Chains A and B, each alone.
Chain A
Amino acid sequence: MVARQHVKTADERSTGRLYKELALGFFRVGIFGFGGGPSSIPLVHTEAVKKYKWMTDDEFGDILALANTMPGPIATKMAGYIGYRVAGMLGLLIALVVNVVPTVIAVILLLNLLAAYKDLPVVNNMASAVIPVVTVMLGVLAWDFVKKSGDSIGWAKAIFAIVIAYVAMYVLNIHPAFVILAVFALIFSPLLTKRRKRL
Chain B
Amino acid sequence: MIYWELFLAFLIPGILGYGGGPAAIPLVQVEVVDRYGWMTNPEFSEMVAAANALPGPIATKMAGFVGYDQAGVLGAMVALFASVGPSLLMMIVLLNILWRYKNSPYVKNLTKWVRPVIAVLLVVLTFQFFFDSYEINGAWITVFLVIGAYILLERVKLHPAVVILLALGFGAVTTYI
Contact = CB atoms under 8 A, between A and B. Distances in A.
Interface in A91-123: 92, 96, 99-108, 110-111, 115, 118, 121-123
A84 B84 CA distance: 14
Contact of B17 (A73, A102, A125, A190): A73
B42 interface: no
Given A63-B95, A65-B114, A136-B153, A35 B50 contact: no
A70 B85 CA distance: 12
B118 interface: yes
Interface residues of A, number: 101
Nearest to A120: B175
Nearest to B171: A129
Contacts, number: 328
Interface string A62-81: 11111110111111110011
A198 B111 CA distance: 27
Contacts of B115: 61, 65, 145, 148-149, 152
Provide the main secondary structure of the chain B interface. Answer: helix
B110 A107 contact: no
Contacts of B132: 131
Interface string B133-167: 10011000110011001100110000111011101
Given A103-B55, A104-B60, A125-B171, A72 B119 contact: no
A73 B174 contact: no
Contacts of A145: 115-116, 118-119, 122
Interface residues of B, number: 91
A115 to B, nearest CB: 8
B153 A137 contact: yes
A172 interface: no
B57 A73 contact: yes
A158 interface: yes
A125 B174 contact: yes
Contacts of B146: 132, 135-136
A175 to B, nearest CB: 6
B47 A36 contact: no
A90 interface: no
A71 B18 contact: yes
A176 B117 contact: yes
B4 interface: no
B59 A72 contact: yes
Contacts of A169: 117, 120-121, 124
Interface string A21-52: 00000001011111111111111001000010
B91 A81 contact: yes
Interface of B: 14-22, 24, 46-47, 49-61, 63-65, 68-69, 76, 80, 83-84, 86-88, 90-92, 94-95, 98-99, 106, 109-126, 129-130, 132-133, 136-137, 141-142, 145-146, 149-150, 153-154, 159-161, 163-165, 167-168, 170-172, 174-176
